Amino acid sequence: MADEKEDELRMLRRLAKSYGISFKQPADEWPEAHGKRFRDIQELGYKKFSTYSENVTVRSVQEPWTRQIKSRTQWLVRRACDLAFNVQPKENGWRLGIENDVMHRFLVEVACPKCRARIWRSEIEATNYKTDSKWVQALEERRKNRKSCQCPIETRPQDYYEIGTSLLFDDRVEEIVMLDSALKDLPKKKTPDRTFGLKPTEKVNELLEKVALRTSNTTEALEFTPFKLATNPPIFPFLILEAKSDSSRNGFQDIQTQTAFPIWKFLTLQRKLQLKTECASEEPLVWFLGNRGSEWKVYGCYVDETYGRLRYNIHPLWGGDLTTLDGALQLILIVDYILDWARDIYRPSIMRGLKSLVTGKGYDEVSLDLESEIYSVKDRVFDWIPPEAADFEFEEHLGTVIEDLDPEAGTGQNDLLDGLPNTKLGSFRSASQVNYRFNGLNITEDNVESLLILIQGPDDELSMSSMHAQNLDIKLQSCNELIVTTQHTLDEIESMWTGEKRKTDSAFSSASDVELYVILEYRCFISPSWDVVRELTCLAVSKPAFVIVQECASSKGGYRTRELSNPPSTCPSTSLYEAIDCLMSDSALQILQASITSTFLSIRPSHAEKELQSLMLEFRALDHSEISRMVEEYSKCVRNKSSKRMQPISLPQYLKSGGQGRKGYEAVMRQKKAEVEAWSSKYRRRTANRTFARRSARVTHVTEIDGHGFSCSRCSRGRLDGFAAQWQPIRTKPLTNNTMLVQAVSLDTAVEIRQERNDFCLFLLGMGPEIKDDGTIAEIIQEHLNSGKMYHTLLHGPSPNVERRHGPALWNLSRPYRRGAEREKRDLKAWIAELK
């Protein structure tokens, strides 16, 4: 067996040489195009942990991420030592135990959701190859304007959540790399352990389709990805990882050889794009990280031409051991640098090259449209952080995507807020700025099997979850709010709400005519960051998918399915559009009032009296619902995590069974979590259709003055249900100088409702308050205090567990305008004093 492997490696080396693949020595000369970057890697490779730690206390004031890097380094060393000296795992054990922590920066975002400033910057920032390019000047200007986050720690998520997952990059584990036909008989090492590339967002896919059409008549179509067997694969991969256990006979030379052809393919893709654009500022570059147990090496891979022949070079740049503090710190900083290069240099360069092909303009003439970049990822906004954290998924999506090109572009406030101070005891918001969210689970014939397999969790047989199929069947069977409509209509509703256009929403798509069973719910509330949020939640199951759900549900446990009793007839699309239009026609004042009362409605078939029979749909107040919980739970599968919880053991159980202390317990739990995540990643290509999760959002300014509701029979119906206080404008005193003062109780998602001090926000309406020349905003708040009354509300995060714990107390609040308690008045006086 060993001889066979040696023969295989020798054959690979000979073949690599014939393809111009060259394995460089560390002392070999660097290419001019990448010399500065390779020097940066070398400089980071000389960093000492002792020196870095000495400055952390001072640096963390302006650079808060330095403290976290120090902690990550110490944790990584402890983990590597534990694996090397105690566990001694095989290759997969090393990968599961440490790889995600090394690549941590590629899996998270870099901007604070509250202030949009940076929570991280690279120790050394990557630069463009051509220093005279206008893109260099633009990048330098953006970097100069970037600010470090100075928000108090308690106002941000815990470090574990790191704000959110990256929307710009995607990775694949053991994905087959499709090489040239001449290489089809290569041995099995066409599947690198892990690769990273650019995430194919909706707008990026549209750009690729246009490129494909434009180049369809050429002799050779442009390739975007080498992962031809994968669904929605990353494009133009630029980073590759290969691992071996420390007990493996394979040295780093063998690791290089095994990975040579995937590297060659990645460089070839970049070079072909460069040739088609004729003029490009960036030369092809691929990074390669190889490890053998705790030993890691970093390589830079590039293309040059020698005597008229192309050479694909693999050049070692750094090596170190993660069981040492210096080695762990250096690798963390190097991975940070590669991410910085990928965000600021590589991705914009690829996008400009593609846009150059579409527009026919030169590479240096095209510009990246900021708006298109914003909307290119807005359907992914709910997949960023685990659900236990606060309401950050939608809060940050707009600014985070803007930050990709200009992080300061998304921080501009409404003109009404210009000049108002930032204070600790209260906030200011414009009532006209409203966040629209669409939160949907769209189960179709194409994706239902993927959903039921992924939600089942680790299972070598890839079986579908009969339990969850039964839950879906029971929910549809027992629901009185079921609407039957088409896929096209649902797509149009999402487009009305957030502007998102889906691929199925096309006259050429047969999927657009498929009928769905739909449950629609509407919430209007204020988020923990004091944003007004209007959210549509949708559970949709196509009729063909429902048949599969019932077949799966009845496959185990003696469960018997039946046809839907009294299934509703198909609802005309115009009726649904009119109902959604009712919701969207409210004025800024009505929306603010609805958010203060935490409005929660279902959109359901009408059972109204004769005068309302012309309306097929009506609004009904809800005090709780399982739909949001189901949508949230099932949508977790899109995040490459099983929604099926691990079966954790408690610390006492672990110790009783012979466990070795708290640190050992934490290591066991991390290992279990890593195994679940690895399963989801490993089987991603077999269950890759994750289109069931629909998330989109937009922020808009509502300018309508005349309210909707009184003249609408559907909306005024609320008065008959005792719901007028929530759905109709709140009958209270007039506004105080075009402002509304709101006091809120925050919901603690982990325990219960609790609050050490009162939170206040002054909402500005219309043209804002009229402040005299010698007046202040504090005087307006004093007017509210003198009146003795204020609005009261709850700040809602996206946690269904809180709703299940507190139930009706959270929604459709009664008497939101009332006298303030003494404690509230005391805290309001403190805010006024702070403003003065």
Our CA angle for 95, 47, 105, nearest 5°, is 40
Please tell me the predicted confidence (pLDDT) of residue 499: 86
Please tell me the predicted confidence (pLDDT) of residue 379: 34
Q: Has residue 765 got a pLDDT over 70?
A: yes
- Do the domain assignments include residue 759? yes
- C-alpha to C-alpha distance for 231 and 503, rounded to whole angstroms: 15
Q: Which token pair is 646?
A: 């691990």
DSSP structural state of residue 346: I
- Do the domain assignments include residue 452? yes
pLDDT tens string 114-160: 665 666 788 888 887 665 566 666 776 777 666 666 666 545 544 43
Please, which residues have CB within 8 angstroms of residue 827's CB and are 6 or more apart in sequence?
425, 757, 758, 760
- Do the domain assignments include residue 389? no
Please tell me the predicted confidence (pLDDT) of residue 462: 61
User: Higher confidence at residue 142 or residue 621?
Assistant: 621
Q: Has residue 320 got a pLDDT over 90?
A: yes
Q: Has residue 87 got a pLDDT over 80?
A: no
With residue 636 as reference, give the H or E element that holds it. none
At position 289, the amino acid (one-letter code) is L
Query: Nearest CA to 644 among 813, 506, 456, 793?
Result: 456
- Do the domain assignments include residue 411? no
Contact (Cβ atoms closer than 8 angstroms) between residue 111 and residue 399? yes
At position 167, the amino acid (one-letter code) is L
- C-alpha to C-alpha distance for 122 and 238, rounded to whole angstroms: 18
777 and 646 in a single domain? The answer is no
706 and 684 in a single domain? The answer is no
Please tell me the predicted confidence (pLDDT) of residue 282: 81
Q: Which one of 1-5, 47-51, 677-681, 706-710 scores highest in mean pLDDT?
A: 47-51
Rounded average pLDDT over 808-819 = 80
Pick the last residue of a domain from 334, 352, 380: 380
- Do the domain assignments include residue 25? yes
459 and 369 in a single domain? The answer is no
227 and 109 in a single domain? The answer is yes
Q: Percent of the chain at pLDDT above 70?
A: 66
- Do the domain assignments include residue 395? no
Confidence of residue 299 (pLDDT cuts 50, 70, 90): very high
Q: Has residue 329 got a pLDDT over 50?
A: yes
Q: Has residue 598 got a pLDDT over 70?
A: yes
Please, which residues have CB within 8 angstroms of residue 216's CB and are 6 or more apart in sequence?
none
Query: Nearest CA to 316 among 345, 340, 295, 347?
Result: 295
Q: Whole domain around residue 757: which residue ranges?
A: 700-835
The overall average pLDDT reported for the chain is 75
Q: Has residue 503 got a pLDDT over 60?
A: yes
- Do the domain assignments include residue 406? no
Please, which residues have CB within 8 angstroms of residue 456's CB and are 6 or more apart in sequence?
463, 464, 465, 468, 642, 644
What stretches of 708-785 adopt beta strand conformation (E)?
A: 739-746, 759-764
231 and 112 in a single domain? The answer is yes
182 and 280 in a single domain? The answer is yes
352 and 444 in a single domain? The answer is no
Which of 298-307, 712-721, 749-758, 792-801 has the lowest average pLDDT? 749-758
Q: Has residue 494 got a pLDDT over 70?
A: yes
Beta bridge partners of 618: 604
Please tell me the predicted confidence (pLDDT) of residue 751: 38
Which of 80-89, 320-329, 727-736, 742-751 has the lowest average pLDDT? 727-736
Confidence of residue 635 (pLDDT cuts 50, 70, 90): confident
459 and 563 in a single domain? The answer is yes
Inter-helix orientation angle 325-341/35-44, to 10°: 150
Neighbours of 80 (CB within 10 A): 25
Confidence of residue 308 (pLDDT cuts 50, 70, 90): confident
Confidence of residue 412 (pLDDT cuts 50, 70, 90): very low
The pTM for the full model equals 0.53
Inter-helix orientation angle 347-359/202-214, to 10°: 40
692 and 710 in a single domain? The answer is no
316 and 280 in a single domain? The answer is yes
154 and 212 in a single domain? The answer is yes
Please tell me the predicted confidence (pLDDT) of residue 287: 96
Please tell me the predicted confidence (pLDDT) of residue 629: 86
Contact (Cβ atoms closer than 8 angstroms) between residue 285 and residue 302? yes
C-alpha distances out from residue 452 to 252, 443, 635, 692, Å: 41, 10, 11, 11
Which of 28-42, 451-465, 543-557, 581-595 has the lowest average pLDDT? 451-465
pLDDT tens string 212-260: 777 655 556 678 888 877 777 899 999 999 888 666 666 777 788 888 8
Contacts 24+ apart (CB under 8 A), 70-79: 72/101, 72/104, 72/332, 73/49, 73/325, 73/328, 73/329, 73/332, 74/325, 75/101, 76/101, 76/102, 76/322, 76/328, 76/332, 77/322, 77/323, 77/324, 77/325, 77/328, 79/667
Pick the last residue of a domain from 697, 726, 743: 697
Please tell me the predicted confidence (pLDDT) of residue 709: 53
Q: Has residue 433 got a pLDDT over 60?
A: yes
Looking at the chain, the number of H-run helices and the number of E-run strands are 28, 19
Please tell me the predicted confidence (pLDDT) of residue 362: 64
Q: Percent of the chain at pLDDT above 90?
A: 19
Q: Has residue 351 got a pLDDT over 90?
A: no
Please tell me the predicted confidence (pLDDT) of residue 634: 83
225 and 369 in a single domain? The answer is yes
Q: Which token pair is 426?
A: 């209260």
Confidence of residue 461 (pLDDT cuts 50, 70, 90): low
Query: Nearest CA to 410 among 776, 22, 88, 111?
Result: 111
Pick the last residue of a domain from 697, 727, 747: 697
- Do the domain assignments include residue 401? no
With residue 747 as reference, give the H or E element that holds it. none
Q: Give the total number of structural domains in the chain.
A: 3
Confidence of residue 274 (pLDDT cuts 50, 70, 90): confident
